[in-house]
Amino acid sequence: MKCNLRMCVSLVLFALWLITGITGTILLLGPLTAKLGHPLPVSTADTLHEYFGFAFFGLSVVHVTLNWNALKSYFKRLA
């Protein structure tokens, strides 16, 4: 199966969403687990969260651009 641009962008966005969610959870739970004696790699998670978050945002713009016609038709159905 060939990966076209829309499919590749969507798959990479999903991976970035997953990584950003996992690192965000680590950042949220980090202080609690440190108090319990099981520190998480908060510094690494913070760096990854920032970089992958920027990549997620940038690729989201590409995703919206590629799917603009479909989005317009969704909004027309709502009106």
What is the three-state SS of the chain?
A: CCCCHHHHHHHHHHHHHHHHHHHHHHHHHHHHHHHCCCCCCHHHHHHHHHHHHHHHHHHHHHHHHHCHHHHHHHHHHHC
Give per-residue pLDDT as tens, 51-62: 999 999 999 999
Mean pLDDT of 9-20: 96
Q: Please report which confidence band the pLDDT of residue 69 belongs to, taking 50, 70 and 90 as the band edges.
A: very high
Q: Is the pLDDT of residue 50 over 80?
A: yes
Q: Is the pLDDT of residue 1 over 80?
A: no
Q: Is the pLDDT of residue 64 over 80?
A: yes
